[in-house]
């Protein structure tokens, strides 16, 4: 029994470390020897800038002003706001921009973000579709930076770079900022090697003729690019196409968002499961298994490590490993308790974020196994 507990403990620890560290190290090492450059150029294809919104009256006006000020020729830029049955003043505000070329596509019945995008793309005229939302701010040259990659006919989708700001200094926000810096590094390395396997939801683009409608409960910024990949085109990361987003302020907000995203992501992976075949998709399958599936399984590994470690208490080494786990969870709880007091320290903020996102993944896994489908969404970031 002790041997079984030891095996479970060390395998669980190794799997969790692989998901967060060893995979990243493997990508880094491969990128030192493998480069797959693609052509870029100062091109100006016609672009449809698609903003999907639900009850965004507080943000949509500023978003449209900022979009109209982007450094891209106005005669090459079509702006569409796809409203998913908004019940506030979102549609009214969008219509006030009609004389400046902004189009409103209203979808009745609250069908969710993915289906709203599906219907809006059918009305788009641009060669390239750029997907955004109402709360994200773009650098003026962001669209130019995205589309320059389409000078290479082998590129079918391009992701920009998230830069999260934490204006309130929220503890959970500190973790978000650090996490997305880490994710951007991984995307840079993946793109250098060949292709990334998912895009930043608020700043990514797809060739219109490669866009494929997706089921309403499937996460579009993961599966739409994977559809492009499946049909033989690359997805590249453009670090100079920058979008700014504010982090959530409360751990419960981050938790709710992460549960919804994880549910849709897991269902998306089931939808695109044919890409997991390493004999057909090779390195792409390795990326999906390692960076997606293993990451979602980390909370399972954490639970197994904790329970098996309990069975091994009494031995000096395992007393130490158990104490370290208690320290991790204790620091996470302290991060949560200290947040209302405006005490935000990295040793508490990072464990809080780590525990929050992994607990969310575990809850999401349970919902997916019970057949739950997340179609609609509520605005979390303000």
For the cut 70, the answer to whether the pLDDT of residue 169 exceeds it is no
For 25-40, the pLDDT digits (tens) are: 999 999 999 999 999 9
Q: In what order do the strands lie in the sheet with 234-246?
A: 102-107, 77-84, 47-53, 128-133, 204-207, 155-165, 234-246, 137-138
Residues 6+ apart with CB under 8 A from 174: 166, 344, 346, 349, 350, 353
Question: pTM (2 decimals)?
Answer: 0.92
- Topology at the third CATH level for domain 1-382: Spore Coat Polysaccharide Biosynthesis Protein SpsA; Chain A (3.90.550)
Q: What is the pLDDT of residues 53-84, one digit of tens each?
A: 999 999 999 999 999 999 999 999 999 999 99
Query: What is the share, in percent, of the chain residues with pLDDT greater than 90?
Result: 77
Query: What is the residue extent of each domain of the chain?
Result: 1-382
**What is the model's pLDDT at position 251?**
79
Q: Hey, CA dihedral for 175, 114, 365, 160, is it positive or negative?
A: negative
Q: Which among 202, 223, 221 is positioned nearest to 132, based on CA atoms?
A: 202
Q: Lowest mean pLDDT: which of 165-169, 219-223, 343-347, 366-370?
A: 165-169
Closest CA to 281 of 214, 197, 158, 159: 197
Q: Which residues of 208-247 are buried (b: 16+ CB within 10 A; e: fewer)?
A: bebbebbebbbbbbbbbbbbbbbeebbbbbbeebbbbbbb
Cβ-contact 233, 152 below 8 angstroms? no
pLDDT of res. 377? 62
Task: Summarize pLDDT for 301-311 with one digit per residue, the tens.
Answer: 999 999 999 99
For residue 125, how far is the Cα from the chain centroid?
26
* Three-state SS at 343: coil
- What pLDDT band is residue 379 in, cutting at 50, 70 and 90? low
Q: Report the phi/psi class of residue 228: left, alpha or beta, with left for phi > 0 and alpha for psi in -120 to 50.
A: alpha
Find the mean pLDDT for residues 127-133: 97
Where residue 19 falls among pLDDT bands split at 50, 70, 90? very high
């Amino acid at each position: 029994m002790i041997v079984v507990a030891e095996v479970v403990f060390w395998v669980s620890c190794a799997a969790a470390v692989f998901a967060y560290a060893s995979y990243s190290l493997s990508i880094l090492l491969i990128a030192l020897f493998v480069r797959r450059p693609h052509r870029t150029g100062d091109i100006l294809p016609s672009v449809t800038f698609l903003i999907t919104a639900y009850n965004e009256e507080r943000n949509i006006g500023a978003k449209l002003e900022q979009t109209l000020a982007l450094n891209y020729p106005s005669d090459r830029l079509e702006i569409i706001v796809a409203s998913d049955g908004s019940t506030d003043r979102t549609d009214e505000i969008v219509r006030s921009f009609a004389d400046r070329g902004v189009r409103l596509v209203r979808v009745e019945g609250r069908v969710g973000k993915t289906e709203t995008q599906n219907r809006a793309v059918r009305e788009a005229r641009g060669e390239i579709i750029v997907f955004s939302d109402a709360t994200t701010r773009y650098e003026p040259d962001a669209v130019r930076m995205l589309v320059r990659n389409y000078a290479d006919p082998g590129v079918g989708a391009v992701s920009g770079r998230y830069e999260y700001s934490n204006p309130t200094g929220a503890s959970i926000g500190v973790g978000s900022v650090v996490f997305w810096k880490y994710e951007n590094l991984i995307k840079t390395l993946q793109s250098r090697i060949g292709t990334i396997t998912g895009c930043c939801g608020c700043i990514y683009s797809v060739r219109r003729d490669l866009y494929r409608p997706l089921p309403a409960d499937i996460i579009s910024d993961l599966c739409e690019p994977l559809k492009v990949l499946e049909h033989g085109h690359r997805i590249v990361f453009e670090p100079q196409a920058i979008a700014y987003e504010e982090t959530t302020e409360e751990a419960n907000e981050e938790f709710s968002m992460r549960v919804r995203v994880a549910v849709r992501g897991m269902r998306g992976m089931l939808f695109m499961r044919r890409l997991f075949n390493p004999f057909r998709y090779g390195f792409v399958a390795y990326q999906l298994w390692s960076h997606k599936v293993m990451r979602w399984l980390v909370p399972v590994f954490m639970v197994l490590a904790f329970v098996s470690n309990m069975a091994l208490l009494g031995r000096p080494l395992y007393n130490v490993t158990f104490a370290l786990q208690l320290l991790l969870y204790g620091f996470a709880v302290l991060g949560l308790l200290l947040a209302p007091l405006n005490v935000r320290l990295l040793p508490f903020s990072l464990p809080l974020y780590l525990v929050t996102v992994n607990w969310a993944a575990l809850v999401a896994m349970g919902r997916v196994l019970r057949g739950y489908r997340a179609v609609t969404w509520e605005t979390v970031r303000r």
